[in-house]
């Protein structure tokens, strides 16, 4: 993993193969300590998770990353096996 911006987004280096129906199969949302929503998006390209994109609604830096348990998740269904 490599941090790629000031919000803490990560470049993922993995050989995992993910069967997904969209480039962003999972999105998480939680509130920063200033009350602004933090979004975390998993990007998958050609079946490989490549990035965990982290940003706030107002574009400001994350003040304090909430614990994983604070995030509400939206998960799209997996693609059926071919």
pTM higher than 0.85, yes or no? no
Contact residues for 66 (Cβ-Cβ < 8 A; gap 6+): 30, 31, 32, 38
Structure tokens at 24: 């962003």
Query: Residue 61's pLDDT is what?
Result: 92
Summarize pLDDT for 23-75 with one digit per residue, the tens.
Answer: 999 999 999 999 999 999 999 999 999 999 999 999 999 999 999 999 999 98
Structure tokens at 35: 């009350």
């Amino acid at each position: 993993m490599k941090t790629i911006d000031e919000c803490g987004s990560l470049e993922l280096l993995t050989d995992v193969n993910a069967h997904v129906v969209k480039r962003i199969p999972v999105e998480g949302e939680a509130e920063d300590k200033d009350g602004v929503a933090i979004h975390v998006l998993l990007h998958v390209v050609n079946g490989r998770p490549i990035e965990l994109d982290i940003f706030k609604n107002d574009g400001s830096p994350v003040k304090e990353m909430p614990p994983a348990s604070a995030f509400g998740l939206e998960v799209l269904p997996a693609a059926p096996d071919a």
